[in-house]
Amino acid sequence: MKWGLPVATVERLPRYLRCIELLPPDQPTISSKDLARLSNMNAAGVRKDLSLLGSFGIRGVGYPVDELAARIRKALGLTRDRDVVVVGVGNLGSALANYGGFGKRGFRIVGLYDADPSKIGSTVAGIVVRPVGSLARDAMELDIAVAIIATPAKAAQQVATLLSKAGVPSILNFAPTVLNITGNTYLRQVDLATELQILSFYLGGDR
Amino acid sequence: MKWGLPVATVERLPRYLRCIELLPPDQPTISSKDLARLSNMNAAGVRKDLSLLGSFGIRGVGYPVDELAARIRKALGLTRDRDVVVVGVGNLGSALANYGGFGKRGFRIVGLYDADPSKIGSTVAGIVVRPVGSLARDAMELDIAVAIIATPAKAAQQVATLLSKAGVPSILNFAPTVLNITGNTYLRQVDLATELQILSFYLGGDR
């Protein structure tokens, strides 16, 4: 536990939020049972998670949808915009820079960085790619909340160390490698193979 | 619950497996407490999940690492290779085709498809891009386990319907849009913004 909510709850809140955002705009409430079904959870788990956001469910009715969304956004710190940079502007970095799902959730891409001279100065998603060497200085001037690492695996550790030393508060690493960082930078690892492994379960075949 | 394991457990197993795979090769056992710490879970939850894989933990010692990994792989159906196609060879599709984390986990990219005539016939990650129109026929000849949708949002539904009609057993959708499919195809939605929302919690700022 950290910051007052269990890690597992924090990881489930975005999923609940996503399900709520997809409800018909005129739906006033949602039951824990319905939210559980939409989010692939069980109803008791949903109720336990949401009870940590305060007491606002109505017995026999459910949660007011607007208040539920507002409480989740507040708990996750989504009520303000966050500035994001992407390091590594290959296919993945370019895809992330262009990804439609970030901006509308309040995550603004404000900088792109690469080590490849042929990419520096080019424009991706409306942003001019800057040399990775200028990242440390830029980090002091910008208010970077999250740095996304989308470099090749072998370059990721060096970039992570640089970001951590520059005081960037959080790193999201897409490079398929394990990073070690010290200091106050919070690191999350994205493993795109995880989703395939979950799908594999439902394919059966050797159980 | 489906196929004998709760959905939430299935979603955590890849995470446990990843943590185990990162242990020093000479470590013989791991306690539920250590696995919980590495995987950001609590120890009771880890024990409950792993108890569903059979009784093999040793009280006071932990789980034999090799057997734990083998049981998770078996439960997830990871003991055989799976053939994967990617539909949409833009930046994201190209990144996924080149992603180092798939092949070593037994997910082989066997086909790439796009609707853009300028991309058809080009080679990405060693594979010649084929027209999306040939997907239905190819699906009958190939043994596709998973189709990854990496198209623009507006094209994703049409591709999903085509894949479902062609009998592809599972779809992983990266397009930032909601898909409706009927039939036996299992669909998972990847929302890359989820990870940013989790990070946001640890950044604080408005709580």
- Tell whether the model's pLDDT for residue B1 goes beyond 60: no
Segment B136-190, tens digit of pLDDT: 999 989 999 999 999 999 999 999 999 999 999 999 999 988 898 988 899 998 9
Using CA atoms, how far apart are residues A2 and B87, in angstroms rounded to an integer? Answer: 40
**Hey, are the CB atoms on B206 and A79 less than 8 Å from each other?**
yes
Asked if the Cβ–Cβ distance from A170 to B203 is below 8 Å, we say yes
Q: What percent of chain B has pLDDT over 70?
A: 97
The token pair at A195 is: 């989703």
Res A2: pLDDT = 46
Whether residue B207 contacts residue A77, with contact meaning beta carbons closer than 8 Å, is answered with: yes
- Residue B45 or B113, more confident: B113
Residues in chain A: 207
ipTM (interface predicted TM): 0.90
Looking at residue B92, its amino acid is: L
Q: What is the count of residue pairs from A and B with beta carbons less than 8 Å apart? A: 203
pLDDT value at position B205?
Answer: 54
What's the pLDDT tens digit per position in A119-142?
A: 999 999 999 999 999 999 999 899
Write the residue in A99, A201, A206 that is nearest to B79 by C-beta.
A206
The C-alpha of A87 sits at a distance from chain B's nearest C-alpha, in angstroms, of 15
pLDDT at B207 over 70: no
* Burial profile B169-194: b = 16 or more Cβ within 10 angstroms, e = fewer: bbbbbbbbbebebeeebbbbbbbbbb
For residue A82, list chain B residues with Cβ-Cβ distance below 8 A: 196, 200, 203
Q: Is A1's pLDDT higher than 80? A: no
At A15-61, the pLDDT tens digits run: 999 999 989 999 999 999 999 999 888 899 999 999 999 989 999 89
Q: How far apart are CA A32 and CA A44, in angstroms?
A: 8
Q: Are the Cβ atoms of A207 and B80 closer than 8 angstroms?
A: no
Distance of CA B179 to the CA centre of its chain: 18
d(CA A97, CA A110): 9
Asked whether B172 and B149 are in contact (CB, 8 A), the reply is yes
Intra-chain end-to-end CA distance of chain A, in Å: 36
Asked if A182 contacts A164 with a C-beta cutoff of 8 angstroms, the reply is yes
Q: Per the CB < 8 Å rule, is A76 touching B192? A: no
- The C-alpha atoms of residue B102 and residue A191 are separated, in whole angstroms, by 10
CA distance A193 to chain B (A): 6
Q: Which residue of A has its CA nearest to B153?
A: A100
Helices (H) and strands (E) in chain A, counts: 9, 9
- The confidence score (pLDDT) of residue A179 equals 92
Question: Are B198 and A188 a contacting pair at CB < 8 A?
Answer: yes
Give the Cα-Cα-Cα angle A28, A29, A34 (nearest 5 degrees).
Answer: 135
Chain A residues with CB inside 8 Å of B84's CB?
Answer: 196
Query: Can you give the pTM of this predicted structure?
Result: 0.87
Residue of A nearest to B194 (CA): A14
Contact list, B144 vs chain A (CB under 8 Å): none
In chain A, % of residues over pLDDT 70: 97
Q: Are A85 and A137 in contact (CB under 8 A)?
A: no
Q: In the 8-state DSSP scheme, what is residue A90?
A: S
Q: What is the DSSP string of B69-125?
A: HHHHHHHHTTTS-EEEEEE--SHHHHHHHH-HHHHTTTEEEEEEEES-TTTTT-EET
- In angstroms, the separation between the Cα of residue A109 and the nearest Cα of chain B is 12
